[in-house]
Amino acid sequence: MTRDLTVGQFIPGHSLMHRLDPRTKLMLTFLFIIQVFLTKSALSLLFLLLLLWIYIVCAQVPAQKVFRAVRPIIPVIIVTALLNIFYVSGHVLWHYAFLRITDQGLFTGFTLLVRLITLIAGCSLITYTTSLNALASGLEQLLAPLKRLHFPVNELSMTLSITLRFLPTLAEELDRIIEAQKARGAQFGTGTILNRIRAFFPVILPLFMSAFRRAFELTNAIECRCYHGGEGRTKLHPLKLRRLDYAAVIFFLAAFAMTLIFNGIRQPF
């Protein structure tokens, strides 16, 4: 399970997507999410898939990796899609007892399936193409206006980037602890629910202990490197918007408009 974790799995590279300013990427990801939710017609759905393909190509991330990000939530997606199939009214295609499948339901379910997969896949691209520090400093800059309200923006972005940085480390550790406990005869995933929950204590406790130990050592390490909040901090690579960023924004806005247009065109259903 932990191997599918995409957060913090930056793949270094020099693709178009890699070279975008993190602020641009954050904003555009946000725009993309809205776009996915607004996608309604079959045509705009097709267009969305085309866009996803373009983005994956621009990011030069193996498609396999992108869909690995989707895998852990496939059950959720399927359940949601199924519920939609049975609950949406329309022309009845098949029925048994209280279950009815309608053409509209089928379409809505399928749409939802595609939209959710696109959403996750699209969002995973930003974590694959942006280093966590870039992501954090992008967020920091975007939230900078809040500083005037005494909101600790720098500290928040530091906390965030450290959290993201340690997720894979802790995931690896979790796997190791599970293996170690299995080697001592612990059994996971058998017995009653209560037993199953109880079986996870010997995993969670060591994980917590080790997380705390790491936190102490990390605190010392960043203090040794003169960290004292965001005050007076500079950057190795200060963020700078370039022509590429403006081009990307224009492209995304155009794509957004296309989705709205495609939504409006009369649908076959």
Q: How far is the CB of 70 from other proteins (least distance, A)?
A: 22
Q: Which residues pair with 101 in a beta bridge?
A: 94
Interface with other proteins includes 30 (CB under 8 A)? no
CA torsion 177→182→184→187, rounded to 10°? 120
242 scored as a contact of other proteins (CB under 8 A): no
User: Out of 223, 253, 260, 264, which residue is the one contacting other proteins (CB under 8 A)?
Assistant: 223
Please pick, from the candidates 123, 142, 160, 162, the single residue that binds other proteins as defined by CB under 8 A.
162
User: In the complex with other proteins, which residue's Cβ is closer, 12 or 185?
Assistant: 12
Residues in 244-263 that interact with other proteins by CB under 8 A: none
Find the shortest distance in angstroms from Cβ 137 to other proteins. 9
Extract long-range pairs of 136-140: CB within 8 Å, 24+ residues apart.
136/160, 136/161, 136/164, 137/22, 137/235, 137/239, 138/21, 138/22, 138/23, 138/25, 138/26, 138/239, 139/22, 139/26, 140/230
Question: Can residue 214 be called a binding residue for other proteins (CB under 8 A)?
Answer: yes
Q: Tell me which stretch binds other proteins (CB under 8 A): 31-39, 63-71, 142-150, 214-222.
A: 214-222
If one asks whether residue 184 binds other proteins (CB under 8 A), the answer comes out as no
Instruction: Output the smallest distance, CB 12 to other proteins, in A.
Output: 5
- 235 contributes a contact to other proteins by CB under 8 A: yes
Stretch that binds other proteins, among 52-60, 65-73, 95-103, 218-226 (CB under 8 A): 218-226
Is residue 233 at the binding interface for other proteins, with CB under 8 A as the rule?
yes
Considering the rule CB under 8 A, would residue 8 count as an interface residue with other proteins?
yes
Q: Does 128 bind other proteins (CB under 8 A)?
A: no
From first CA to last CA, the distance across the chain in angstroms is 39
Q: Is 159 a binder of other proteins (CB under 8 A)?
A: no
**Size, binding site for other proteins by CB under 8 A:** 30
Of 238, 243, 266, 268, the residue at the interface with other proteins (CB under 8 A) is 238
> 220, 242, 260, 269: which one contacts other proteins (CB under 8 A)?
220
The yes or no reply on residue 168 touching other proteins (CB under 8 A) is: yes
Give the residue, chosen from 148, 150, 184, 228, that forms a contact with other proteins under the rule CB under 8 A.
Answer: 228
- Residues in contact with other proteins by CB under 8 A are 8, 10, 12, 131-133, 161-162, 165, 168-169, 214, 217-218, 220-228, 232-238
